Amino acid sequence: MDPTTSLKSLLLAINQFKNNKSAPNATQLQRQIDDVSGLKCPRLFASTQVLPSECLSGLVELAGDPNTSTALAGKIVAFLSQLASDDEAREALHSSYNLASTLASVLHCNSASPREPIVLQCIHILQRITYGVKMFHSTAYMDELIGFLMHHIQCPNDDLTMPCLGLMANLCRYNLSIQAHIKSASNLKAFYRTLISFLAHNSLTVVVFALSILTSLTLNEEVGEKLFHAKNIHQTFQLIFNIIVNGDGTLTRKYAVDLLVDLLRNPKIAGYLSRYEHFVLCLTQVLGLLHGKDPDSTAKVLELLVSLCSVSSLRRILCQTVFRPSGAQSKCSLRKDSHSRAPEPAVALVHWASLPLEGPESCSLQALQLLSELFEEVIDSGLSSTVQPFVDLLLPVLLSLLQTPEQLLSEQLAKRNCARTARAVDVLLVSLTVQLLCGEESLKLFVSQRLTENVCVSQIEYLFSSSRIDTGFDCPVAESDLSRAGAEVVLKVLDLMSRVRQLVRDMETSFFRILQDQRLITPLSLALTSDHREQVQTALKILFEAAPLPDFPVIVLGESIAANNAYRQREAEYSKRRNLAQDQHPLLAKPCSSPSSSPSQQSIQNLIEKLQTGMEFREQIKDVRISDIMDVYEQKISALASKESRLQDLLEAKALALAQADRLIAQYRCQRAQAEAEARKLASLLKEAERRKEELEAVLGSQTQEARRAEADIQQLLQHNAKLQAVAEEHQALRGSYSDVVQRFNECDKMLKDLQAAHNSLNKQFEALKKQNENLRQQQDKVLAELAEKGDELKELSSNVEEKEKKISGLLQTIQALEEKAKQREKEKEDMEETIEILRKELHKTELARKELSIKASSLELQKSQLEIRLQKKEEELNKHSHMIAMIHSLSSGKLKADSVSLSL
């Protein structure tokens, strides 16, 4: 069946089941899931197409819905497990659809029945999608997931123990927040004891999982000091190397390599490993794994070897082990040529480095990186003469990697090609240094016989045309992965040409010709504004070589650097605003790729090449009308270039808008999934609140009875204090009126409201006055004396209040007049600011137009000077020809007789 038809049917079944969750609709949805599972096209769901994205969003939503039946949820989880087998689909499920949170909620809902198959499926998928990915502790249901894992890890003879250990190892690695949450658990010591007991398990997978968790949690703590002490660290090394060499499978070897890489980050443990007495033997066994045929396993072995190179002492031992010839090879070295004397591990590295582009990418890149590290150690240790046979074997492979592809590559393969070429050039540069240490004559022979000028030039031309960096300099280049990779390779190849330009024929001429090419501006500007130190240093080397050249466009380079800086600043501001708008977990969208070169641009380049070849041919004909033809073609080319630049700007704007729309869609889906997870969590909290409410209602009933008893006591107190109520009310009225007068003195416009508030406050203070009856008995005599004084003061205050009210009314009128004047001034200020902003924009546009006109004027002056020089040459040749024609005419006119003409000089 057609994939599009199957996906449409699946989406229809999902919508029908959402609207009506009946058994027939569930059966129909399961049938559609089985049909799509039979297509076996996981990369389709890794794309950004709308239909697959809607299907995955609906399936993830249904899987996390607690009302979905267990059978349907299990079918969905099985389908998601099938998709997670592909690397790109797994990344999309984690980043765009928030699958980890959904699966954690499924585990939380089914935690009461851990024997269900869906629980094991969820743990397996979580282990697969969280490998090598950092999870946020604030993810929904993360605390429940960690509690579930800790509980089942401590359960003996549980089928979930091994997958829970693997998932816990993924969550703990390089995640301080999750590590802190686990360390704050009440049963932490029991959890540590369980993990330590697993170190004696008969399964190597369980051992490496447990040791990885202990390393993440206790490496820099007291427990870790005891676990990885100098007395027993050698046993740990032997255990890890045994797991790497004799592991249960690729999965076990991956976790064992990750464990050893994490241990090497500790300088103390790295020192212990360099002093480990069996390290050379273990390293030889690990190097023997390079002869295997499993690319995933080999990639992890190469990752381990590259990590060993980060420690200087370990890199020295590794270099000696790799380039040490075996016993059989040393015996027959006299009978065989130099290529056969290369050591076996080095030959395996050459094999993995020379894999085709369609093969596993990580193996080739890591093999080249390892070779570069080993050659640097050879240079530092002075062992260049011992690796000469291997260099002779490696050079043809490196040169084959520098060959341009014969057919057009996709964007993914183009990125791989750029990355591999960059690594190959790095190895080639280091190997040149090795040859230089062997002797200058050896270096000349090494370079002149194998490296040609055509290889470097063709590689640079291919990168200019295929890496989307040949876009001119009139607009900033979008910082796509492909353009940046292509620019890095161009500069590396130029660095290689700079080093061997004196040793290869025509290399120096091609090198200086490329330095004056305007297409080099984009790689230089990208590298000079890069965050990587090596790229900046390489760009500066090339710039120092190119700056003294007469036709090097320095001004254009400055404009391009300024444009790139402005582009980066706009991107940073946009990213900052986007991060402020999002509450949790902002999605870091990738920068959009620049669009490919348009057909009009290719046609212009072909026309220029034809004109150049035609001019070289026509210079021999001495056609006097060639300047007119050049003017016509220049006008046509300028018109086509202006049209092409406008179309290119429109295309970039459309691509940027499309990328922004894709990012917004992905953000909306992620936010919707998070909102649904939060809604489910809020529903559980609501149920808990209702239960709590019932408990509080029972407590409220008991408190109501106590309140009735308190009311009866209050009635008795009211009867007892009836005589004092009148006096208390009068006293409180006087106090309230006094406070009202003070408030009216401060806020005259709210006097009536304050009096009403004071009256209400008297009613509320009734209960407080009951408690003060005893004090009022003592103060009663004093109050009677003060009442007369307060009456006189009240009269004086009332007269003062009337005077203040008159003054306030006058001040209010004055304030209203001033506010009207202020509004008029504010309006005039806004009008002036708008006028100033318009004038600034016009001034900026005028400045840009002036810069463009100055650039065009400089280029026209250069062309004018070149045409004047050529015109002078043509006039001199024309004078010579006219002189010769005059002489021939004089000789053939008959004015001189044949016998009177002297042919002697």
Asked if residues 264 and 228 have their Cβ atoms less than 8 Å apart, the reply is no
Using CA atoms, how far apart are residues 42 and 90, in angstroms rounded to an integer? Answer: 9
pLDDT > 50? residue 328? no
Which carries the bigger pLDDT value, residue 158 or residue 865?
865
Which carries the bigger pLDDT value, residue 834 or residue 756?
834
434's enclosing H/E stretch is helix 411-438
Domain stop point among 58, 77, 112: 112
Mean pLDDT of 715-726: 72
Mean pLDDT of 441-458: 71
Domain stop point among 552, 582, 603: 552
Percent of the chain at pLDDT exceeding 70:
80
Using CA atoms, how far apart are residues 157 and 206, in angstroms rounded to an integer? Answer: 12
If pLDDT is split at 50, 70 and 90, which confidence band does 617 have? very low
Burial group, residue 164, by CB count within 10 angstroms (0-12, 13-18, 19+): buried
If pLDDT is split at 50, 70 and 90, which confidence band does 639 have? low
Range of the domain at 501: 431-552
57-66, 352-361, 600-609: range with highest mean pLDDT: 57-66
> With the CA atoms of 117, 122, 128 and 130 taken in that order, what torsion angle do they form, in degrees rounded to the nearest 10?
-160
Using CA atoms, how far apart are residues 680 and 672, in angstroms rounded to an integer? Answer: 12
pLDDT > 80? residue 674? no
Q: Tokens for 141?
A: 């249901």
In a domain, residue 727? The reply is no
What integer pLDDT is reported at residue 440 of this predicted model? 53
447's enclosing H/E stretch is helix 440-450
Mean pLDDT of 624-637: 62
Question: Quick one: DSSP state of residue 597?
Answer: P
User: pLDDT per residue over 839-857, tens digit each?
Assistant: 888 888 888 888 888 788 8
Using CA atoms, how far apart are residues 304 and 307, in angstroms rounded to an integer? Answer: 5
Asked if residues 674 and 98 have their Cβ atoms less than 8 Å apart, the reply is yes
Q: Tokens for 92?
A: 């999309």
Q: Tokens for 508?
A: 């120096």
Q: Which of 424, 330, 345 is nearest to 390 (CA)?
A: 345
pLDDT > 70? residue 649? no
Mean pLDDT of 211-236: 86
pLDDT > 50? residue 603? no
pLDDT > 70? residue 607? no
Domain stop point among 52, 79, 112: 112
In a domain, residue 349? The reply is no
pLDDT > 70? residue 59? yes
**What are the b/e assignments for 666-688, b being 16+ CB within 10 Å?**
bbebbbebbebbeebeeeeeeee
If pLDDT is split at 50, 70 and 90, which confidence band does 585 have? very low
First to last CA, the chain: 95
Asked if residues 483 and 477 have their Cβ atoms less than 8 Å apart, the reply is yes
Using CA atoms, how far apart are residues 149 and 413, in angstroms rounded to an integer? Answer: 40
If pLDDT is split at 50, 70 and 90, which confidence band does 535 have? confident
Percent of the chain at pLDDT exceeding 90:
3
What integer pLDDT is reported at residue 57 of this predicted model? 84
In a domain, residue 6? The reply is yes
In a domain, residue 636? The reply is no
Which carries the bigger pLDDT value, residue 116 or residue 325?
116
What integer pLDDT is reported at residue 587 of this predicted model? 34
If pLDDT is split at 50, 70 and 90, which confidence band does 437 have? low
Which carries the bigger pLDDT value, residue 635 or residue 559?
559
What integer pLDDT is reported at residue 69 of this predicted model? 84
What integer pLDDT is reported at residue 896 of this predicted model? 44
Using CA atoms, how far apart are residues 576 and 570, in angstroms rounded to an integer? Answer: 10
In a domain, residue 712? The reply is no
In a domain, residue 869? The reply is no
pLDDT > 60? residue 602? no
Using CA atoms, how far apart are residues 501 and 492, in angstroms rounded to an integer? Answer: 14
In a domain, residue 628? The reply is no
What integer pLDDT is reported at residue 168 of this predicted model? 92
pLDDT > 80? residue 185? yes
What integer pLDDT is reported at residue 169 of this predicted model? 92
pLDDT > 60? residue 87? yes
Q: Tell me what the pLDDT averaged over the chain comes to.
A: 78
What integer pLDDT is reported at residue 212 of this predicted model? 92
What integer pLDDT is reported at residue 642 of this predicted model? 66
What integer pLDDT is reported at residue 646 of this predicted model? 64
pLDDT > 70? residue 749? no
Using CA atoms, how far apart are residues 449 and 427, in angstroms rounded to an integer? Answer: 18
What integer pLDDT is reported at residue 257 of this predicted model? 92
What integer pLDDT is reported at residue 750 of this predicted model? 67
In a domain, residue 323? The reply is no
506-515, 600-609, 862-871: least confidently modelled range: 600-609
User: pLDDT per residue over 372-421, tens digit each?
Assistant: 888 888 887 776 667 777 777 888 888 888 888 877 777 778 888 888 88
If pLDDT is split at 50, 70 and 90, which confidence band does 45 have? low
Which carries the bigger pLDDT value, residue 462 or residue 472?
462
Q: How many domains does the chain have?
A: 2
What integer pLDDT is reported at residue 584 of this predicted model? 40
55-64, 295-304, 433-442: least confidently modelled range: 433-442
Asked if residues 777 and 724 have their Cβ atoms less than 8 Å apart, the reply is yes
pLDDT > 60? residue 874? yes
Asked if residues 429 and 499 have their Cβ atoms less than 8 Å apart, the reply is yes
Considering the entire predicted model, what is its pTM? 0.61
Q: Which of 100, 153, 171 is nearest to 180 (CA)?
A: 171
pLDDT > 70? residue 521? yes
